[in-house]
Structure 1
Amino acid sequence: MPLGSLHTTLPDSRSQVDLNSHVDQLTQRVDDQNNLISMLLKQINLNQGPNLGPCDEEKRMHKHVNEQFERSQNKGLIGLDLPHNNALVICIQIEQAVIERVHVNESSAANILQLSVIQHMGLEPKISKLARSLTDFNGAMSITVGTIDLDIYLPVVVCLQTFMVIDKVSPYNGILGQPWINKIEAITSALHQKIRYPIPGGGIGHINSDQAKAMRCTAQGLKKSKHLQFTPVMQAANELHVDPTNKPMVQKRRNFAPERVAIIEAEIDKLLAVGFIEEVSHSEWLANVVLVTKQEMGKWKVCINYTDLNKACPKDNFPLPRIDQLVDSTSCNQLLSFMDAYSGYNQILMHDDNKAKTSFIIERGT
């Protein structure tokens, strides 16, 4: 309806009743116009307020939404000891027992219970003695005692879950992992120390983590890790199978021109600096250095003449795989790893008993 003055012409023959009705209609139309004008004025004031453009207005709305979200987030943190890095540790009913110190972990692909917990529940005979291997996040493997199927009780929700049974010292009595979390369609938040899950028929179920027990479990785990004894990881080593009937060979030192000696010395210094080689005083086997030209103009490759040592080692008659065998071996695998051995960046260490056999001689010694 266009804005402007409202007027009408009433016939002289109209009755008083019709006149009142017409006045009511005019009044309603005036009210509608006033409401429309008020809405337009509010919109004009909003746009003219701080001179906001479309982008500024969108930023203001985003800021308002973010502030509301932050207020709702902070509301969920009331009563917690902040800041914290505590795990979700809950108390939950499994079968007819209430189990404390149960870690809810989305990163775990299995549900786990301690053997001692099963024994206290009197359910050890129900364990299926099927041993399986569990791999920890650090690659360590544990063998399970077996598996057991148990009911987990929540308000209004009961679900049957399979647990791996382990006999291992841990600050937790058990772990509820992805199978249980996905089964009840739960949403977990370690920051808020809460778990939420839908209830059949409508509604949301709540489980609160015990932050005090979570802190004690974390402290206990850290205390235990300080007393762990770590065994060195076995590394691959190149072991030479030298025929004992062959006599050790000592090659006579070759002489090089001064400019080539400088090239050899520079390469040896680099190998000594990174610990790839070390000086020796006496060695039964001794080889010479050989300079080989590279494809790049003016560059040399420093090599060792191990011809005598190779002759003393038995030959492996099994041929190297052909390219079609290498390609076929990659089938049914998700990943293919390539090792770049360019310039010897990936070198297999020599076995300690064979290091002396790889000795070589240069101008300044062996």
Structure 2
Amino acid sequence: MKRRMGSVNALHQHNALVQIIFNRTDLLRVQILHEDPLVVSLTVAECLVRRVLIDPGSSANVMPKVTFDQLEIEPEKFKPTKNPLLGFDGKRVEPIGMVELPVRTTERDLIESFVVVEIHPSYNILMGRGWIHRVQGVPSTLHQVMRCLSPDGSKVIDIHGDQIDPLRPDRTTIVGLGLSEDEKQQLVDFLYQNTDMFA
């Protein structure tokens, strides 16, 4: 009996070693004082898709028709559906169909269902909380990362946000020289607050 209890305790201690936490060092790679959503890049249907919104408030994965068309998915994978979605304003959005596609991330290849809608959003895909739970993820918009457990639970894997980073010249822009200091600061503040609107 003692030996069995010892095994259970050892197993519990081993599982407790891998935890998902966030700390101050996670903020070192982030442009702070932001209100950015968590926007990442994912591999969907063998294609790298940028501007993917991680949305724990959504019960479904949502794909605009324009993204569906660009992925050049075989027509036979497209299935009709009559289940409406509710938008932020409470209005019903009628989907034009559903499609199941592979999503590769965090050492997983998952087949995910996407509701395809005729909208023109700021994002190419929206990943909802079902997928977040399946990858055992904890998203943090503040830290601009979704931290996930590996499939075997032995380590943590990060999916970093695509936030504009002033330390990377390829992800910055030039502010006009003819502006006053006050105007420059207002423009810079505006750009940081709306980074999710830019490719």
Same fold (TM over 0.5): yes
Whole-Å Cα distance in 1 between the matches of residues 53 and 95 of structure 2? 18
Query: Residue in 2 aligned with 1:134?
Result: 85
TM-score after normalising by structure 1: 0.39
Q: In the alignment, residue 95 of structure 1 is paired with which amino acid?
A: A
Is the CA contact 1:132–1:146 (under 8 Å) kept in the aligned structure 2? no
Which structure carries more helix by proportion?
1
Deviation at 1:181, TM superposition (A): 0.4
Query: Runs of 5+ in structure 2 lacking a partner?
Result: 1-21, 165-170, 172-192
Q: Given the superposition, is the C-alpha separation of residues 116 and 219 from structure 1 closer, same or farther in structure 2, using an over 3 Å criterion?
A: closer
Alpha-carbon separation, structure 2, partners of 1:189 and 1:78: 14
Separation in structure 2 between the aligned mates of residue 120 and residue 191 of structure 1, nearest angstrom = 31
Q: Partners in 2 of 1:209 and 1:164 — Cα distance?
A: 23
Alignment of 1:1-366 (within 5 A): 73-123=23-73, 125=75, 126-201=77-152, 202-212=154-164, 215-218=194-197
Task: Report the equivalent of 1:344.
Answer: none
**Number of residue pairs matched by the alignment:** 149
Report how far residue 206 of structure 1 moved.
1.0
* Identity rate, percent: 22
Cα displacement string for residues 37-91 of structure 1 (whole angstroms, at most 9, x for unaligned residues): xxxxxxxxxxxxxxxxxxxxxxxxxxxxxxxxxxx72211002222111000000
Q: CA deviation at 1:119?
A: 1.2
Distance (Å, rounded) in 2 between the aligned partners of 1:197 and 1:86: 20
The answer on whether the counterparts of 1:118 and 1:124 sit within 8 Å (CA) in structure 2 is: no
Q: Distance in 2 between matches of 1:159 and 1:73?
A: 29
**Quick one: which amino acid aligns to residue 83 of structure 1?**
L
Higher relative contact order (CA 8 A, sep 6+): 2
Question: Secondary structure of the equivalent of 1:77?
Answer: helix
Which amino acid in structure 1 is aligned with residue 73 of structure 2?
Answer: L
Structure 1 segments, 4+ long, off by >2 Å, are 212-220
Q: Is this contact kept in 1: 2:85–2:92, CA < 8 A?
A: yes
Are the equivalent residues in 2 in contact too, given 1:102–1:175 (CA < 8 A)? Answer: yes
Deviations 1:301-346 (A, max 9, x none): xxxxxxxxxxxxxxxxxxxxxxxxxxxxxxxxxxxxxxxxxxxxxx
TM-score when normalising by structure 2: 0.69
Decide whether aligned partners of structure 1 residues 124 and 132 sit closer, same or farther in structure 2, where only a CA change above 3 A counts. farther
- 5+ unaligned residues in a row in structure 1: which ranges? 1-71, 221-366
